[in-house]
Amino acid sequence: MRMRSQRIRALTVKDLKRVIREPANLFMVIIFPVVLTMAFGAAFGGFGSDGGASTYTVGLVDLDASSNHGFADAFIDGIEATGILVVEEYADNASAHDDLLQGAIDAIVGLPEDFGDSVESFLLHPDDPSQWVNTTIGLAVDQGSMIVGAVVPPMIERVLSTILFGEEAMNMALPLELGAPAQVASSHLTQFDYMVPGMFAYSAIFTAMLVAQAFSTEREQGLLRRISLTPTSSSEVIMSQVVTNLILGVSQVVVVYGTSVLMGFRPQAAAPGVVFAMVIVLFLVLCNVGFGLITASLVKTSGGATGLSFLFILPQMLLGTFVPASPGLAKFVPSYYVTDALTSLFLRGAPLSSPMIMMDLLIVAVVGLVTVVVGIAVFQRYGRG
Amino acid sequence: MKKMERTGSPAITVSNLVKRFEDVTAVDGLSFEVEAGEIFGLLGPNGAGKSTTINVLCGLLEPTSGDAVVLGYDVVSEATHIKERIGVCPQEPAFYSHLTGRENIDLIADLHLIPREEGRRRTDALIDLVGLGEASSRRVGKYSGGMIRRTSLAMALVNEPELAFLDEPTVGMDPQSRRATWDLIRSLQGRGSTVILTTHYIEEAEALADRVGIIDRGRLIALDTPGSLMREHGAGNLEEVFIELTGRRIREEV
C-alpha cells in the first residue's frame, strides 16, 4: 500500500507534541543531553576551570651563546623554582612549536643568543643604558587557554626581575624585555573535549527506549488499535516514528553541539562537522528506531519495554560513547563508529573525505538501515497485537 | 455523504461467521444481513460476542471461518476499502491524552485523508454537534467519562461514514447527553448512513433500532424489529424477550 504524506505528517506532529507536552519525554530528549553536557563541561572542561591542570609546562629553547651562560642557568632554575611552571628544554624553536601545537606544553620561552651578555651589561652598568646589550626573550602561549595566557607571562617576568635585582624586584628600565606573548592555537584538549563526540552518540542511543515506550504505550492504551480502524497502514505508523525520531535526532545534535561549545568545546571542524554529525547521528537514530521496534515486539508492557531497551542502550553507552572501553568489543556497537568519526573530525582535524571517517559513516549507515528494516519486519509480525 | 460504490446490495452480509480464540468460541456461526440506511441493534450481555463481531466486520480481526461482506467488500481481502468508508466508536474509547479533543478529531480526519480545510470544518461542526464546546481546546487527559465518549463519537463520524459502528456509545453519559446522542444517531440515518449499534441499554435499542439482533454466547438467537420481537414473545420490552429466550437477564451479566 502506498504511504500517504498527510497521514505521516499528522502522526509525526502528534508524536512531536507528545515530546513537547509531556515533561518526561521533553527531559529525556532535550533537557537531559543539555544537563549532561553542562555537567561534564563543568567537571572536565575548560569552562570555569583549568581543565584539571595545576602546573604549566614551559618549553624552554636556550639559544644563549654568550660567555656568561650562568645567567641563563639561573633564569631556568628560577622558572622551576616557581613550583607552578615546569621546564621542558628544547634544542630548537621548531620542535618546541610542534609540541605546543599538539598541546604537549603550555608555553614556550626562547632565550636569545645574547641573553647572558645582556644581563651582564645591566649588572655592570645599571645606571648607564648606553652600555646595555638590548635583547628580547621570545614567548609563546596556548591561545586556547585563558589561564595560561594570564598566568605564564607575569611569572616569567617575575623570574627575570629576580635574576636582575634579586628578591627585591624594581620597576625600572631594563636592557631585557619580555616579548609580547605570541598566541598559538594548540590542540591542547581537556577531558571534556574528548567526551563531546561520544555525547552526540549518547543522546541518540536513547531513541531505542523512546520508540519502544511509544509503541508499547500506544498498544496498551488501545491507540494502535484505534489507528488501525482507519485506512492507515502499519508502515505509515512506523514511518511517522522514524521521521519523528530523525527530527529529534537533529535537534539533539544542535543542542549538544551548542551546549558543548558554550562549555568550552573547541572543535577542529565547525560547520561541516556539525552537518556531518547530523548525518551520522541520523543513521544511529535509525538503528535505534530498529532496536526500539524489536524491543516493543518482544515485550507487551511499556514498563517492560523500558527495561528491555537497556539491553540495546547499555552496550552502546558503555562501549561506544565516552566511556573508555576495549576497542575490540566496541567494534560490535554502532555508536562506536559515530564516536570514532566525530573524534577524528572534531579533535584530530581529519578532513571529511578521510577514508576512516567515510568507513565509519558507511558502517553506521548499513547497520542503521538493516536494523530498522529488521525492526519493522519483527514489529509487523509480532508487535502490533 | 459518500455514495456506496457497490450499490443495490445490503450494507452488511454475514454468513456462518465463526471466530475462535484458542479454545474459546466468541462468535459461533452468525448469519444476518443489515440493509443500507438501517439502524441495526446488536443486543446481548457482556461476552456475548457483539464486540468480536464488530471487530471482524471492521477488518480488525480475521474470522476463523465463514464470510462477511461490508459495503460490498470482503472483510479479509478488502479491509482497507472498508476502513475508508466506516466510522467506529469503540467500546473502550482510545485517545491521545496529550492532545486536545479538537486535535484528536483532526488527527482522525487527517488519517482519512480529508483535505485539511474540510477536515477542520467538519471538526468544528462535530464539536458543536456533540456539545464539546470550549472543552475541545483542553487536553483529553483532563476530560470526564462523558466528554471522552462524546469525543470518541466525533472521531468516529469525522469522515462522514457510510456505515457507523457505535459500540456502547452512550455509556457514562448523563441523560441529557444520551438524548442528544440519540438525536445524532437518528440524524446519521437521516443522511443515509447505516448504523450498527451495540448497547446494554434496552430502552436505547427500543428507541433507536429499526431491527434488533439478540446475541447470546456467540449465537444469534433472535432477529426482528423490536415491536415484532415483543409481540412474538408476549413481552413488554426487549429485556423480557431476552429472559424469555435465555432464562437470564441482560443486565445481570453486565
State whether residue B150 is helix, strand or coil.
Answer: helix
Return the C-alpha cell found at A199: 555525547
- Check whether A159 has a pLDDT greater than 90: no
Closest listed residue to residue A101, CA positions, set A321, A311, A336, A268: A268
CB A66 within 8 A of CB A113: yes
- Check whether A59 has a pLDDT greater than 70: yes
Determine which helix (DSSP H) or strand (DSSP E) holds A58, and give its type and residue range: strand A56-62
Determine which helix (DSSP H) or strand (DSSP E) holds B13, and give its type and residue range: strand B12-21
Q: What percent of chain A has pLDDT over 90?
A: 35
pLDDT at residue number A182: 61
**Highest-scoring range by mean pLDDT, A198-202, B20-24, B70-74, B196-200:** B70-74
Please indicate whether, in this complex, the C-beta atoms of B111 and A225 are within 8 angstroms of each other: no
- Check whether B58 has a pLDDT greater than 80: yes
The DSSP output letter for A27 is I
Mutant choice from B111, B123, B167 vs A, greatest count of A C-beta within 10 A = B111
pLDDT at residue number B253: 45
Closest Cα in chain A to B158: A230
- CB contact B83 to A (< 8 Å): yes
- Check whether A345 has a pLDDT greater than 50: yes
Nearest-angstrom CA–CA distance, A25 and A13: 15
- CB contact B95 to A (< 8 Å): yes
User: Which of A77-91, B30-44, B121-135 shows the lowest mean pLDDT across its residues?
Assistant: A77-91
CB A368 within 8 A of CB A358: no
- Chain A residues with CB under 8 Å of B60 CB are 225, 228-229
Return the C-alpha cell found at A218: 500506544
Nearest-angstrom CA–CA distance, A338 and A311: 19
Comparison of pLDDT for A131 and A148, the residue scoring more:
A131
CA distances from A300 to A11, A78, A224 (A): 22, 72, 13
Please indicate whether, in this complex, the C-beta atoms of B58 and A1 are within 8 angstroms of each other: no
Min distance A294 CA to chain B CA atoms (Å): 23
**Average pLDDT rounded to a whole number, residues A156-176:** 67
- Chain A residues with CB under 8 Å of B139 CB are 21
Nearest CB to B98 within list A11, A21, A230: A21
Please indicate whether, in this complex, the C-beta atoms of B90 and A232 are within 8 angstroms of each other: no
**Average pLDDT rounded to a whole number, residues A340-346:** 85
Nearest-angstrom CA–CA distance, A180 and A110: 12
Around Cβ A92, how many Cβ atoms within 10 Å? Answer: 10
Please indicate whether, in this complex, the C-beta atoms of B96 and A14 are within 8 angstroms of each other: yes
CB B32 within 8 A of CB B14: yes
- CB contact B243 to A (< 8 Å): no
Classify residue A89 by burial, with Cβ atoms within 10 Å: 0-12, 13-18, 19+. Answer: exposed
Nearest CB to A223 within list B94, B103, B159: B94
Nearest-angstrom CA–CA distance, B174 and B233: 32
pTM across the whole model: 0.74
- CB contact B74 to A (< 8 Å): no
User: Which of A269-278, B54-63, B159-168 shows the lowest mean pLDDT across its residues?
Assistant: A269-278
- CB contact B32 to A (< 8 Å): no
Classify residue A123 by burial, with Cβ atoms within 10 Å: 0-12, 13-18, 19+. Answer: middle
- CB contact B94 to A (< 8 Å): yes
Around Cβ B118, how many Cβ atoms within 10 Å? Answer: 11
CA angle A229, A231, A237 (to 5 degrees): 85
Show which of residues 202-221 on chain B sit within 8 Å of chain A, judged by CB atoms.
Answer: none
DSSP A356-380: HHHHHHHHHHHHHHHHHHHHHHHII
Closest listed residue to residue A358, CA positions, set A287, A278, A285, A280: A280
What are the pLDDT digits (tens) for A238-259?
A: 999 999 999 998 898 899 989 9
Please indicate whether, in this complex, the C-beta atoms of A225 and B90 are within 8 angstroms of each other: yes
- Chain B residues with CB under 8 Å of A228 CB are 60
Nearest-angstrom CA–CA distance, B42 and B51: 9
pLDDT at residue number B245: 86
CB B135 within 8 A of CB B171: no
Determine which helix (DSSP H) or strand (DSSP E) holds A385, and give its type and residue range: none
